[in-house]
A and B are shown apart, each in its own frame.
Chain A
Amino acid sequence: MRRISYCDALREATRQEMLRDPSVFVYGIGVNNHAKVFGTTEGLVEEFGSERCFDTPISEDAMTGFGLGAAIKGMRPIHVHIRVDFLILATNQLLNMVSNYIYSTGGRVKVPLVIRAVVGRGWGQGSQHSKSLFSYFTHIPGLKVIAPTTPYDAKGLLTAAIRDNNPVICLEHRWLYWAEDEVPEEPYEVPIGVGRVLLSGHDITVVALSWMNVEARLAATILHRRGVAVEIVDPRTLAPLDDELIVQSVNRTGRCLVADCDWINSGVSAEIAARVSERCFSRLKSPVRRIGFAHTPCPSVRELENEFYPGAHKIVRMIEDMLGLTAADLSHDDFFSHERRFKGPF
């Protein structure tokens, strides 16, 4: 099958839905500039015109309400933010207007609004260009939140989001943009709210979010050398969460590590750990553990950044600890960095 990048998968989903449905439009700061939001909006203004793909003033709050009004009136807006940190400027519209409007109509009115936001680690991005804020959005009733990991899921989930009649927030980790994998050319949907097992194993379940699936995969490869079989579950959707898939996996393995690329405190990892504890308590051989950002603002300098971000190295050490194994020699293993990009396949 054809292989394309995560970035191109997002662009293809957008383009195909714009072709299929004239009510779909794309807007946001920089969607039409030379960089085209890492390339995800490349070619759209040329093909569909500035009526359907347009730049906006730096007015995130107004432009989010703009999407709400257009969606209520029957359009399907896709609002793009090059950093999730900038989406926070729209918190009032998101939390006071977008998320509860449908409820105030008794569920009778559609709000087919998609908000895309780029999250995650860059190259010394510091504290205002690097957040994930997954739980910031999953905390709010009325919002669906997706965080695709693979190019296949990026295309399928974004397509499903555009066709959904509710507000959907799509959180895209920028280090995944380079990943390439097999992606069908024709349009398809990956259902929102359904996770998947990225790797099967019987010793421990790692519930990994977004980029952490890449790190978990590398950790699994390293641990496989010493006979440890890791199962990786990618929820793909953060709200609503596919509890059943996670519970089934943990019931099989008896151990659960949640690997988040976000702060741990009050994070999605806490939610998953709580649900696993509630539903798998008698099957757990050890407490649920979590891994995520250090509880500090994100530093810019690489040495501290490496300490701030969790990665395969930390996952391996945590799993060794959970399984009572001695620490393996990792000095010859090669870990991902901004320079050593992950390019797939999964």
Chain B
Amino acid sequence: MRTPMHMSMGQEFVSVGVCMALNGRGDIFASYRSHAAFLAQTADTDRFFGELYGRINGIADGKGGSMHLAAPECGHILSSGVVASAIPAAVGAGYANERFNNDRIATVFFGDGALDAGVFWECINTASLFRLPILFVCEDNGFAVHTPRTERHAFNDVCDVVRKFKCAVYEDVSNDVESVYRLTLEATANARADRRPAFLNIKCYRYLEHVGINEDWMIGYRNKSELEFWLSRDSLKIQRERLLSSGLTEVQVVESESEIDRAIQLSVRNAAVAPAPTSELLYEGVFYAAH
């Protein structure tokens, strides 16, 4: 794999909770940290790993790579490698869904770095003004790349600011996938009933470096004690304990985990041996071609 990857480890529960609540009715727009959102929405590990490996069984024959995952036929509309840039397209999709009078909910994931961008505020304003039931989901991990919130924001709490718009605001600090699930159900129902967007600010923590698969404690912009705190309430751990205490046996949980692992390993193996795109594919797909 030769594509810059922004890993979701530690933050996956946000995408999973939201996408499970939307139950396939979400139109998902995501940032470059979109692996979790893509898999939560599509469960398509074959085309996912195909794209990361840059093989012809990928979503776009490897033309997109990690940062541009897009499978609109599965409800993952697009991902963008430029901070905040996916947000306006979600507003347009929200408008289209209203016009089509369907039951889909445009949902956009972004990090708290997007709050620094003007276009985020343009979109909160426009969606509120146009009364579009859209979910703005902020995966608030406290950093824009390596810069902490305190060095970027002249406000203490974004939720206080967004509340001034005609937009419902929800907050979650639980690190718990089921909490996000319930919050999304509530936000979606209210957004539809009240005809207004919802802003969900969900605290979370990025376990690995900004881009890449390694840890980055040696850089010094954050302290490893933070990780220990978040690991102690890791969302996977919370959910596993919940499943066991709800009556599932250890064997059943391990079986389920193994099944997922096998599916992923199979997709990885298939991708690794799939053919690379041939050179003439470079010029194909710049414009739409009927398939």
Is this pair of chains taken from one and the same complex?
Answer: yes
- With contact pairs A69-B93, A77-B92, A104-B60 given, residues A63 and B82 touching in the complex (Cβ less than 8 Å): no
Nearest-CB residue, chain A, relative to B129: A57
Among B59, B68, B89, B119, which residue has its beta carbon within 8 angstroms of that of A68?
Answer: B89
A102/B288 in contact, CB under 8 A: yes
Among B88, B93, B96, B125, which residue has its beta carbon within 8 angstroms of that of A64?
Answer: B88
Name the residue in B88, B90, B93 with the highest tally of chain A Cβ atoms < 10 Å from its Cβ: B88
A323 to B258, CA, bound (A): 81
A residues less than 8 Å from B119 (CB atoms) = 59, 61-62, 65, 92-93
A residues less than 8 Å from B247 (CB atoms) = none
Q: Does B219 contact A (CB under 8 A)?
A: no
Nearest-CB residue, chain A, relative to B61: A106
- With contact pairs A63-B126, A65-B85 given, residues A166 and B91 touching in the complex (Cβ less than 8 Å): no
Name the residue in A93, A105, A141 with the highest tally of chain B Cβ atoms < 10 Å from its Cβ: A105
Q: Does B77 contact A (CB under 8 A)?
A: yes
- With contact pairs A59-B126, A73-B27, A74-B96 given, residues A106 and B85 touching in the complex (Cβ less than 8 Å): no
A109/B89 in contact, CB under 8 A: no
B residues less than 8 Å from A111 (CB atoms) = 288
Among B60, B85, B96, B288, which residue has its beta carbon within 8 angstroms of that of A96?
Answer: B85
Q: Does B220 contact A (CB under 8 A)?
A: no
Question: How many residues in B have their beta carbons less than 8 Å from beta carbons of A?
Answer: 46
- With contact pairs A61-B122, A62-B123, A73-B92 given, residues A105 and B80 touching in the complex (Cβ less than 8 Å): no
Q: Does B63 contact A (CB under 8 A)?
A: yes
Q: Nearest chain A CB to B105's CB is how many angstroms away?
A: 12
A residues less than 8 Å from B126 (CB atoms) = 56-57, 59, 62-63, 66
Nearest-CB residue, chain B, relative to A60: B122
Name the residue in A67, A73, A109 with the highest tally of chain B Cβ atoms < 10 Å from its Cβ: A73
Among A62, A75, A105, which residue has its beta carbon within 8 angstroms of that of B70?
Answer: A105
A62/B63 in contact, CB under 8 A: no
Map CB proximity to B onto A122-148 as digits: 1 under 8 Å, 0 otherwise.
000000000000000000011010000
Q: Does B64 contact A (CB under 8 A)?
A: yes
Q: Does A329 contact B (CB under 8 A)?
A: no
Among A75, A101, A104, A106, which residue has its beta carbon within 8 angstroms of that of B99?
Answer: A75
A102/B82 in contact, CB under 8 A: no
Q: Does A336 contact B (CB under 8 A)?
A: no
Q: Does A71 contact B (CB under 8 A)?
A: yes
B residues less than 8 Å from A166 (CB atoms) = 287-288
B residues less than 8 Å from A105 (CB atoms) = 59-60, 64, 70-72, 285
B residues less than 8 Å from A20 (CB atoms) = none
B91/A65 in contact, CB under 8 A: yes
A335 to B59, CA, bound (A): 57
- With contact pairs A66-B95, A69-B91 given, residues A104 and B70 touching in the complex (Cβ less than 8 Å): yes
A25 to B96, CA, bound (A): 10
Among A67, A69, A73, A107, which residue has its beta carbon within 8 angstroms of that of B287?
Answer: A107
Q: Nearest chain A CB to B84's CB is how many angstroms away?
A: 9
Q: Does B45 contact A (CB under 8 A)?
A: no
A137 to B284, CA, bound (A): 20
A residues less than 8 Å from B91 (CB atoms) = 62, 65-66, 69
Q: Does A51 contact B (CB under 8 A)?
A: yes
Among B68, B77, B122, which residue has its beta carbon within 8 angstroms of that of A72?
Answer: B77
- With contact pairs A65-B91, A102-B286 given, residues A92 and B85 touching in the complex (Cβ less than 8 Å): yes
A residues less than 8 Å from B82 (CB atoms) = 92, 96-97
Among A69, A100, A110, which residue has its beta carbon within 8 angstroms of that of B96?
Answer: A69
In the complex, chain B residues 65-117 whose Cβ is within 8 Å of any chain A Cβ = 68, 70-72, 77-78, 80-82, 85-97, 99-100, 106
A104/B93 in contact, CB under 8 A: no
Q: Does B29 contact A (CB under 8 A)?
A: yes
Map CB proximity to B onto A81-102 as digits: 1 under 8 Å, 0 otherwise.
0000000000011001100111
A residues less than 8 Å from B291 (CB atoms) = 107-108
Q: Does B218 contact A (CB under 8 A)?
A: no
Nearest-CB residue, chain A, relative to B123: A62
B88/A66 in contact, CB under 8 A: yes
A335 to B78, CA, bound (A): 51
A residues less than 8 Å from B287 (CB atoms) = 102, 107, 142, 144, 165-166
Name the residue in B95, B123, B129 with the highest tally of chain A Cβ atoms < 10 Å from its Cβ: B95
Q: Does A103 contact B (CB under 8 A)?
A: yes
- Can you offer 9 A-B residue contacts whose CB atoms are under 8 A? A57-B125, A62-B119, A65-B91, A69-B77, A70-B93, A70-B95, A73-B100, A93-B85, A103-B64
- Chain A residues within 8 Å of B, Cβ to Cβ: 23, 25, 51, 56-57, 59, 61-75, 77, 92-93, 96-97, 100-111, 141-142, 144, 165-166
